Structure 1
Amino acid sequence: MQKQSIGQTNDEFNSKFIRFLLLADYFAELKKGSRNWLLHTRYVRGEHAMCMELVDVLQKETNHTHRYAYFIMGAVLADAGRLQEAVDKFHSCIRLQPQDPEPLKQVAKCLYRQGRFQLALEAYLEADKLSKHPDPEIYCALAECACHVMGPGGSGVEWARAAQGAGGGERAAALLARLLLAAGDVPSALAAYDHALATHACGADTLAAAGALSLRAGDPRRAFQLLGEALSQQPTQHAAALALAAMLLQHKDVDAALARLKAALSAHPTCVAGHSNLGLALLMKKKFVAALTCLSRAANLAPLSARAAHNLGLALLASRRAASAFCRLACAAALHPTRSHTVLLIGIALERLGDGRADAAYNRAVELSPTDPLVRLNLAGRHARVGRLADALKETRVVAQLLEQAPDAQLSSSLATLINALSQADPKLQDQFSGNKGDEDKEDFQGPETLQPDEV
């Protein structure tokens, strides 16, 4: 009896000890899992140093098998720009659980940030295979990768449509519109933006992009409405402020445009377009020193921008600094050789400097844009100023034909001024020009008695 009781006691002790070990393992696992929320909270708060300390503790406790710790470590390294190390940590997650698509998506994001778009595309395709449900985030990323690998349009647009159909919301709709615009399909891009605005509560960036595209498509009323909504949501949205300022400048409302541009630059002080447009607005108000300051800042911020150099050269030319203007315009022409207006301004600068190469610059501008009435009108003025009246008369006829196809009140007034000056220089020329014109047309070409150099 005593032996039996002793045996029973040992069995009970062993069973209790096993239960204790199982409970210890259970609480240990519970303890390991319970700190995932703390790891996530520290990462979201940006407490990366404390986050990495907790990661080390969890990895030591689990003998480097804590999958979520690897995931957070990779996210922290990716935020710090250490992309290749982050990829290694995410690969550790994949080895621990190969069927989880989230680490593979993070690997693809790191590859995309490294500029390895083909590998990123393949990683996203593999993540799409592992995903159990249609993931609009993966489809949007596939569209962006396909755009980089295969160019705009094609499969990128198809992936964007798939993301929109999978419930991608505003991001998918805006991405589809951007890809269509990059492919040159402006009507479809406008339709995509309209669909996005009608079905989603879009943010300021999407509203600004839609407004800028509407302005480009020739719908200023719609553009003004969308840009106003974007600025009401986010007053510092610089893209909307720049587009609205451009509209105000077209309508000669310089003061309102200046207010918008200053607001945009207060939010983004290094915006090249903002400084350039502000300089042009100040130039319209005849504030030459302030305009040159803004345009010089734009040129310094973007030394390889042909547009910034062109605008600075224009301001220097308006300030009667022809030599400095020629240097800036020459830089702009070197960066963008086929821009006719830059070559035209070079011709004007050379003419003011008394350089004989001015005629070559004028002729080159005409070769680049033979149907531009502004360029042809300036060439006619050049012929008139150097005494080539017959050539000037020939150019005025070409300009008159171009203005019949695309009327412009300001150019028509300048053409009338030039013809009046030519008729005063040689009355016979007025008879030659009016050979195919009636009396009513003759009255339209009345202007000042004299033509100042470079007035056209």
Structure 2
Amino acid sequence: MRRPSVFVGKDPEKEFRYGSRNWLLHARYVRGEHSMCLDLADDLQKNADNTHRYAHYVKGLVYADAGRHQEALERFHSCIRLQPSDPEPLKQVAKSLSCQGRYQLSLEAYLEADKLTKHPDSDIYCALAECASNLGQIERGVEWARAAVQAGGGERAGALLARLLLASGDTIGASEAYDQAITMHACGADTLAAAGALRLRAGAPREAFQLLGAALAQQPSQHAAALALAAMMLQHRDLDAALARLKAALSAHPTCVAAHSNLGLALMAKKKYVAALTCLQRAVWSAPLSARAAHNLGLALLLCRRPASAFCRLATAAALQPRQPYTVLLIGIALERLGDARADAAYARAAALAPGDALVRLNRAGRLARSGHAGKAVEEARAVAEILQREKPDAQLSSSLATLLALLRDAGVQLSDLPDHLPCANTPDDLPEDDMTADEV
């Protein structure tokens, strides 16, 4: 904290007598002795006829720390009246306005403080970037963040620039900003975890693993890094290690919806159904308006052969996110298991939402075949074969399509229009790795 100079009066003896106690005022503030600090500030103000600028300043800091931002603003304005050329009280005014959600006024105050500073101030530029971001001016925020980096803002400026570039859709620029920040500065666990998650989404698992591991080595309770590492381990079917990471994430953040959801799916893969349903239910309780949490719980209930309960959860997920094809597909499966005729409409809706998804179209083909519509099932199977020929081969989908075609042949259906050979699929060991974000399974 920068301590502004104190001007008590023209009498040097009086100025020394009252100004020399600033060190005690500062020491009590930084030690957290706020009550004693306020008493001392009031005493200094009485002796200085309410013109002790540093006492006003420290009282404003104490009020701001306590969340009493309006009273803090009054103290900082008193400092500004006593010495208008000092930018520090003006910066604190802008900070208090930002805490109150008054971002436009905060932006203007920071601009005034920038005019008063004799040298580029990275703190002001970072604050301007954050205010512009909160006002929806992402491009302007990126410009201020770049100015903060050039002014020597360190890790804070670099991480802020990366976040704003990522918000503007510039993934490559955000990755380069994180690289520069990590190379030039000793970054903390939060920055390393954010850079690792970005690497994971960009399809660089090796670099992501190194960054996330460094974040956890520095701060074992960093739940974002633990979630991302758990996602990587689930992708490679290392369930035990993923469970350990997810439990660590929950110990640091007990209400984390993604951790509860992923933990439930990992337990489901280990066939611990009761524990899995408990975790997924906690995720729904923690975030009742999360479509993903409701979707995952509905999937688990469907796997546990509870289609009625699954339908209720999946309907909630579809209401929150109507254009998610896999949720609609699961609704169709649940309705089919319940013997409800509306299953055909759900399958058709899922296929309409994702006409190029082989999994959705294959499930609809199976439903048409089971309901006696062999001709339409053949058309869907032909569409699935064309999709698999265009995209990368998938061993499981190719095998399922072959099984469906064999059943249709056994039923006497003519399959002359379909290709004789399905797309050659890789073995599971040769399949390329899919991207997986920190809160997806």
TM-score, length basis structure 1: 0.87
Distance change >3 Å, CA 405–CA 41, structure 1 → 2? farther
| 1:126 matched residue in structure 2 | 112
What aligned pairs does 1:256-267 form with structure 2 within 5 A after superposition?
Answer: 256-267=241-252
Instruction: State the distance in 1 between where 2:184 and 2:406 align.
Output: 59
Partner of 1:324: 309
Whole-Å separation in 2 of the counterparts to 1:232 and 1:159: 32
Q: Could you tell me which of 163, 174, 187 is aligned with 1:202?
A: 187
For residue 268 of structure 1, report the CA deviation from its aligned partner.
1.2
The one-letter code matched in structure 1 to 2:206 is R
Query: Any residues of structure 2 matched to 1:97-176 within 5 Å, and which?
Result: 97-152=83-138, 154-176=139-161
Q: Which residue of 2 aligns with 1:191?
A: 176
Would the aligned equivalents of 2:398 and 2:423 in 1 still touch at CA under 8 Å? Answer: no
Q: Offset of 1:391 from its aligned partner?
A: 1.3
What does residue 34 of structure 1 align with? 20
Deviations 1:324-365 (A, max 9, x none): 111111111111111111111111111111111111111111
2:224 maps to 1:239: yes
Distance 2:406 2:32 in 1: 73
What's the counterpart of residue 437 of structure 1?
420
State the match for 1:289 in structure 2: 274
1:402 to 2:390 alignment: no
Which whole-Å deviations, capped at 9, do the CAs of 1:383-428 have from their partners, x for residues lacking one? 122121221121111112112222222222222222222222x233
User: Secondary structure of 2:355's match?
Assistant: coil
What is the number of equivalent residue pairs in this alignment?
Answer: 415
Report the residue type matching 1:136 in the other structure: S
- 2: distance between equivalents of 1:443 and 1:136? 57
Stretch moving more, 37-46 or 230-239: 37-46
Q: Does 1:373 align with 2:358?
A: yes
The letter of the residue matching 1:104 is L
Q: How far, CA to CA, are the matches of 2:424 and 2:154 in structure 1? A: 61
Offset at residue 201 of structure 1 (A): 1.5
Give the match for residue 214 of structure 2. Answer: 229
- Corresponding residue for residue 3 of structure 1: none
Q: Which has the higher contact order (CA 8 A, sep 6+)?
A: 2
Q: Per the alignment, in what secondary structure is the counterpart of residue 432 of structure 1? A: coil
**Could you say which structure has the larger radius of gyration?**
1
- Judging changes above 3 Å, is the alpha-carbon distance between structure 1 residues 344 and 442 closer, same or farther for their aligned structure 2 residues? closer
Query: Where does structure 1 lack aligned partners over 5 or more consecutive residues?
Result: 1-23, 445-456
Matched residue SS, 2:416: helix
**Is the CA contact (8 Å cut-off) linking 2:388 and 2:423 kept in structure 1?**
no
Q: How does 1:74-93 map to 2 (within 5 A)?
A: 74-93=60-79
How big is each residue's C-alpha offset from its partner over 1:41-67, in whole Å with a ceiling of 9 and x where there is no partner?
Answer: 222222222222222212222121111
Using the alignment, how far apart are the partners of 1:421 and 1:359 within structure 2? Answer: 20
* Distance (whole Å) between structure 1 residues aligned to residue 350 and residue 110 of structure 2: 49
Question: Does residue 34 of structure 2 align to residue 51 of structure 1?
Answer: no
Distance 2:217 2:402 in 1: 45
| CA spacing shift, 1:41–1:410, aligned 2, 3 Å | farther
Q: Distance in 2 between matches of 1:410 and 1:66?
A: 77
Q: Compute the displacement of 1:433 (Å).
A: 5.1
The answer to whether structure 1 residue 273 and structure 2 residue 265 are counterparts is no
Distance 1:32 1:442 in 2: 87
CA RMSD between the two structures: 1.8
- In the alignment, is residue 253 of structure 1 matched against residue 238 of structure 2? yes
Distance 1:299 1:197, change over 3 A: same
2:409 alignment partner AA: S
The structure whose residues are more often helix, as a share, is 1
How far apart, CA to CA, are the structure 2 residues paired with 1:282 and 1:335? Answer: 26
Q: Which one of 43, 47, 57 corresponds to residue 61 of structure 1? A: 47
Mapped to 1, the partners of 2:385 and 2:27 lie a distance apart of 72
Q: 1:422 to 1:443 in 2, by over 3 A?
A: farther
Gaps in structure 2 of 5+ consecutive residues: 1-9, 426-441
Aligned mates of 2:43, 2:409 — CA distance in 1: 93
Equivalent AA in structure 1 for residue 416 of structure 2? Q
- State percent identity of aligned pairs: 70
What SS does structure 1 have at the residue aligned with 2:35? helix
The amino acid across from 1:322 in the alignment is P
